[in-house]
Amino acid sequence: MTIRKALMAATALLTIPAAATAQSRPDQKAFFGLYKELVETNTTLSAGSCTQAAAQIGARLKAAGYADADLTYFSVPEHPKDGGLVAVLKGSDASIKPMLLLAHLDVVEAKREDWVRDPFKLVEESGYYYARGTVDDKAQAAIWSDTLIRFKTEGFRPKRTVKLALTCGEETTFAWNGAEYLAANKPELIAAEFALNEGGGGRLGDDGKPQLLAIQVGEKAAQNYTFVATNAGGHSSQPTPANAIYELADAVKAVQGYEFPVRFTDTTRAFFTATAKSSPGETGAAITRLLANPEDKAADAIVSRDKALHSTLRTTCVATLLNAGHAENALPQRATANVNCRIFPGESVDGTLAKLKELAGAKVTVTANQPVRPTAIPPKLDPKITGPATRIAAKYFPGLPLLPLMSTGATDAVFIGGIGIPVYGAPGIMIEKDFGGIHGLNERIRIESLYRGRDYLFDLVKAYAG
């Protein structure tokens, strides 16, 4: 059973007003130019430049009327291509604390030979935009930047100062991270009462209709672990039972076969409670049973048929990289695997490591990869945040409930929240229920969804800014 069926009762009568045709308005055409340029600027760690992307957006902000003093570019000499930008639109009331719009410019690697289309060319096809970063996170980076440009060109003077931070390094744990740098070295530059970030949004059904509108309130911690099996090797014509590849494979299969226990936070309990109430059939009943008894394996099996719900219930660990052997005619002397874990709030990196060591057995060593990122601090479900988000959603997504959601991913909120700024994943950008190819092949976003999300977020930021 999917979230779509779980929310069928709440969304069966949902009627979405027709949005303006994409690029039919002058402001939409200007946005598309910014979005296309950003998407087509390669910002992968291996071959791209966030510094270039930040400079391009800075030039657009200057053209809209921002002064040099309003724009702060940042980087370090050791990582000249990983730079970012902080832009500030000063408010009229100094007694109101600023708000921060946060987005990352870097994207996950994409190999042209694996993709149907060039991953760094924006392709419009069958109602979608295709390219790496069309969603994660260049949709939001473009919308935030476009919002500040529209405020300036329309002459809007907010009461609350609005800050924009575009950073690099979010997608790679071992890369230099701009959000971490700002939090550690320039906290006054991004100081704010709260921040809006990625992680929220919403989910579409196969028919393109919204099923779920979500505001992120908390997230898992991301941690990578290295599994290593070693032995003496030898000539492949005389194999022995001691084989590093087989030993590693056994350990990885043990991880595959293990399910971490079901857990709930205040946020996920609220999410599942709302889902259960509007869910017909066995899924609703199973969720209700699981809320009452997290150890109900039969209920867990039913709810976990949906991969998003499965991951929201627990810590997950999955093998993502493998490397083994040194010659085709030799027994392997070393085999390694990377296991990527998304750790549920309240559980720890060390506790997860202990479980992985137990699963791997004595023949395989397991270590936690450095750096170990901090754990995100869940913000409060504040009516000052949820109130405007819910009110404006009634205009763009009438009849659709706004649910608090714990992100199963991890974001730069771990650094921004660490200096006392509550970070919320903004709702509004709807993606496909298969995650729209994010981090995978042929990443895409529905064109209508992008432009509706842009309008929603523009109104939302304006409401928060006063």
Question: What pTM does this model have?
Answer: 0.86
Domain hosting 117: range is: 3-219+376-465
16, pLDDT greater than 70: no
* The pLDDT of residue 21: 63
- Domain end: 368, 386, 401, which one? 368
Report helix angle 447-465 to 383-396, nearest 10: 140
> Torsions phi, psi of 287, nearest 5?
-60, -45
Shared domain check, 107 and 212: yes
10, pLDDT greater than 70: no
Asked if 352 and 214 touch (Cβ cutoff 8 Å), the reply is no
309, pLDDT greater than 60: yes
Shared domain check, 301 and 383: no
Q: What is the pLDDT of residues 323-353, one digit of tens each?
A: 999 999 999 999 999 999 999 998 999 999 9
Shared domain check, 389 and 344: no
Shared domain check, 149 and 14: yes
Shared domain check, 267 and 120: no
- For 210, other C-beta atoms within 10 Å of its C-beta total 21
Local confidence band at 377 (pLDDT 50, 70, 90 cut-offs): confident
Shared domain check, 77 and 175: yes
Query: 413 vs 350, 355, 381, CA distance in Å?
Result: 21, 26, 15
Shared domain check, 231 and 208: no
Q: How many domains is the chain partitioned into structurally?
A: 2
Shared domain check, 160 and 45: yes
Average pLDDT, whole number, for the chain? 93
For CA atoms 320, 80, 111, 443, give the dihedral sign: positive
155, pLDDT greater than 90: yes
Shared domain check, 358 and 380: no
CATH number of the domain that 273 lies in? 3.30.70.360
Shared domain check, 356 and 382: no
* The pLDDT of residue 301: 97
14, pLDDT greater than 60: no
- Domain end: 336, 368, 400, which one? 368
Local confidence band at 279 (pLDDT 50, 70, 90 cut-offs): confident
| CA-based nearest residue to 167, from 180, 154, 156, 157 | 180
Shared domain check, 271 and 172: no
DSSP for 423-454 reads: EEEPP--EEETTGGGTTSSS-EEEHHHHHHHH
Mean pLDDT on 81-101: 98
- Domain end: 368, 399, 434, which one? 368
Q: What is the pLDDT of residues 46-72, one digit of tens each?
A: 999 999 999 999 999 999 999 999 999
Shared domain check, 265 and 182: no
CATH number of the domain that 190 lies in? 3.40.630.10
Local confidence band at 451 (pLDDT 50, 70, 90 cut-offs): very high
